[in-house]
Structure 1
Amino acid sequence: MNPTTVAPAPRARRRAWPHPVLSLLLAASWVLLNRSVAPAHLLWALLLGWGVPHLLRPWLDAAGRVDWNAALRLTLVVLWDIVVANVTVARLTLGPLKRVRPAWVHVPLASDHARVNALLASIITMTPGTVSAVVDEAHRRLLVHALNTDDPAALVAEIKARYEAPLLRVFRVDPTGRDGTDDDSGSKP
Structure 2
Amino acid sequence: MNPQITNPPKARSWFPHPALSAFMLLLWLLLANSLSAGQLLLGAVLAWLIPWCSQGFWPEALRIRKPLLLVKFLLVVLWDIVIANVILAARILGPMNKLQPAFMRVPLDIEHEFTITLFASTISLTPGTVSADLNMEEKYLLVHSLHVTDIDAAIAEMKQRYEAPLKEVFECSPQP
| Within-5 A mapping of 1:113-128 | 113-128=112-127
- Aligned residue identity for 1:47: V
Quick one: structure 1 residues 127 and 57, their matched pair in 2 at CA, closer, same or farther if it must change by over 3 Å?
A: same
The 3 A distance-change label for structure 1 pair 158 and 41 is closer
Residue in 2 that maps onto 1:149: 148
After superposition, what is the alpha-carbon deviation per residue over 1:131-168, rounded to whole angstroms, capped at 9, x for unaligned?
11112223211100011112111111111011100111
Q: Contact conserved, 2:32 with 2:39, CA < 8 A, in 1?
A: no
How far, CA to CA, are the matches of 1:51 and 1:61 in structure 2? 18
Q: 1:100 to 1:63 in 2, by over 3 A?
A: same
Q: Whole-Å Cα distance in 1 between the matches of residues 152 and 28 of structure 2?
A: 44
Does 2:2 match 1:26?
no
Offset, 1:92 = 1.3
Q: Aligned pair count? A: 161
2:7 aligned residue: none
Q: Matches of residues 30-179 of structure 1 in structure 2 within 5 Å? A: 30-31=28-29, 32-33=31-32, 35-38=34-37, 40-66=38-64, 67-171=66-170, 173-174=171-172
Q: Bigger shift: 14-23 or 148-157?
A: 14-23
Structure 1 unaligned regions, length at least 5: 1-13, 181-189
Cα RMSD over matched residues?
A: 2.3
| Contiguous gaps of at least 5 residues in structure 2 | 1-11
| Identical residues among aligned pairs (%) | 42
1:108/1:140 contact within 8 Å kept:
yes
Structure-2 change in CA distance of 1:44 and 1:81 (3 Å): closer
Q: Secondary structure at the match of 1:145?
A: strand
